[in-house]
Chain A
Amino acid sequence: MDVILENLPLYWNGFLRTLFLSAVSGVIALVLGTLLAAARVSPVAALRGFSTVYVEVLRNTPLTIAFFFAAIVLPRLGVKFEQFEVAAIIALSTYTAAFIAEAVRSGVNSVPVGQAEAARSIGMKFGQVLNLIILPQALRTVVPPLINILIALVKNSSVAGAFFVLELFGYGRQLANANGDAVIAVLLGTAFFYLLLTVPLGILASTVERKVAIAR
């Protein structure tokens, strides 16, 4: 217990880093994922194909492979990063975007056909149908799964700790190696800070699910 209290500033530092990594990657992944989902339902075959391949490959790639690629293989290929955070953000956001694209796409497909037909019959164009009719409705159905993806993102950011980025997991590992006699306490402390993020998000997800969900 003493170990945790003594190193509280370190934990806090790591906690903020984890929060930063997750927030930045989360925002990038949301934008990229929505674009990919839009490409997936667009009439242009090339975009559809690209989006399908991207989602299929990235969803089936282990996150560690994505990190290994961004942090170890890319620098060998001449892409140098000032900070390894950049590599971590690239790996996390490109990986998560594939899951977000799938969630948004299934949300789009959950909107009843009649909605799109009605919008088309009053003369809306594809972009209008998507922006004014489909997406506002689809977003409500995808919000709970999206929060679950973000929870997973927070947990996944721990992999960054193994690739030269010091965040919660990285500090936890450092502390565990330095305090061989109190490993269990140190790692339980790390777990506590993760739960501090994931449990409230989980509660938020189920609340939103109950509130926002529209009966169809």
Chain B
Amino acid sequence: MSSVLYDVPGPKARRVSLIGSIVGSLLILGLLAWIIMTLAQQGIFEGRRWQIFTRADVWTLLANGLGATLSAAALAAVIAFPLGLLLCLLRISDAAIIRIPTRVVLEFFRGMPVVLMMLFVLLGFGTSPFIAVVTGLVLYNAAVFAEIIRAGVQSLPRGQREAGLAIGLTSFKSRMLIELPQAIRRMMPSLVAQMVVLLKDTSLGYIVAYGELLRAVQVMADFLGTQFLFPIFFVAAAIYIAINILVSRLAVWIERRGSKKAAGGVAKAEPEKAEAPVP
């Protein structure tokens, strides 16, 4: 891949790149050292600041926050996926009277900040923060899922639908039995990547006062004293990032596994263009 950009390095190039590596590592290490020194001057590494993690209630609060984060994400994903499937069917309907309004609705929800939708539900309908968070996530992600699956359907060869119709399936049955199963399998990496986005977006619940992980950090820092803000934040951020990296790795694994198996179940198509996930 990137090795085509340069020759197999000779002795001279190897020396240069070795020097570059050493200088680069030193620079990065220097930067790290500077950060750690600065933090140490602030007294971040004093034992008593980290001793709070020996207390069970700190971990209980963190676990509650994490539970709130995961439950909102799970519920939103479970609702958003079937809804996205339905929206996709409407979006690719043969009848313009269904297709065009659906398209407008999808553009609307995709073009709006998720946090605005959460606030809208929270204040406009006076719901609990949990419902506001889940509704905001569902509306946005259903629209994105619909677009991803649509891209999958469109990347299938035309013959798939033609063959379905030719053997006497109705248009709806051809979609359900022939096209969607293949489109979903093909788009699995993008769909899982979107799940990461969904999981990340639960942290917006912080803004609408939903008691998720970040809110738990804030509450504990207010309660225990601000000198504990950094340690607690550090641990919570590490938890968040670790979970997201795990799910991202899952997406990569599915992609690899899918490309090995693709020959079997999924029709080969025009050069694939998977939609890259967007922040």
A-side residues, CB < 8 A to B, are 40-41, 43-47, 50, 56-57, 59-65, 68-69, 72-73, 76-78, 95-96, 99, 102-103, 106, 108-109, 113, 116-117, 120, 126, 129-130, 134, 145, 148-149, 151-153, 155-156, 158-159, 161-162, 169, 172-173, 176-177, 183-184, 187, 190-191, 194-195, 198-199, 202, 216
Closest residue on chain A to residue B242 by CB atoms: A60
- The 28 listed contacts between A and B (C-beta, < 8 Å) are A43-B9, A43-B17, A46-B24, A47-B24, A50-B28, A56-B245, A60-B244, A60-B245, A62-B203, A72-B229, A76-B226, A113-B4, A117-B4, A120-B6, A130-B5, A145-B278, A158-B113, A159-B113, A159-B115, A159-B204, A169-B115, A172-B119, A173-B119, A183-B120, A184-B124, A187-B123, A194-B112, A198-B110
Enumerate chain A residues within 8 angstroms of B7, measured Cβ to Cβ: 120
Chief secondary structure at chain A's binding surface: helix
Enumerate chain A residues within 8 angstroms of B201, measured Cβ to Cβ: 62
Contact of B120 with A61 in the complex, beta carbons under 8 Å: no
CA distance A193 to B79 in the complex (A): 28
Contact of B124 with A187 in the complex, beta carbons under 8 Å: yes
Query: Which of the candidate stretches B51-59, B81-89, B233-241 sits at the interface with the other chain?
Result: B233-241
Contact of B276 with A159 in the complex, beta carbons under 8 Å: no
Closest residue on chain A to residue B6 by CB atoms: A126
Enumerate chain A residues within 8 angstroms of B44, measured Cβ to Cβ: 77
Contact of B111 with A199 in the complex, beta carbons under 8 Å: yes
Closest residue on chain A to residue B279 by CB atoms: A152
Task: Specify which of B111, B202, B237 is in contact with A69 (CB 8 Å cutoff).
Answer: B237
Task: Specify which of B24, B107, B230 is in contact with A199 (CB 8 Å cutoff).
Answer: B107
Nearest-Cβ distance from residue B160 to partner chain A, whole angstroms: 23
Contact of A148 with B278 in the complex, beta carbons under 8 Å: yes
Contact of A44 with B20 in the complex, beta carbons under 8 Å: yes
Contact of A176 with B123 in the complex, beta carbons under 8 Å: yes
Closest residue on chain A to residue B206 by CB atoms: A64
Enumerate chain A residues within 8 angstroms of B206, measured Cβ to Cβ: 64, 68, 162
Given contacts A76-B226, A195-B111, contact A61 B240 (CB under 8 A): yes
Interface set, chain B 35-89, CB cutoff 8 A to A: 38-39, 42, 44
Enumerate chain B residues within 8 angstroms of A158, measured Cβ to Cβ: 113, 115-116
Contact of B5 with A60 in the complex, beta carbons under 8 Å: no
CA distance A130 to B2 in the complex (A): 11
Closest residue on chain A to residue B2 by CB atoms: A41
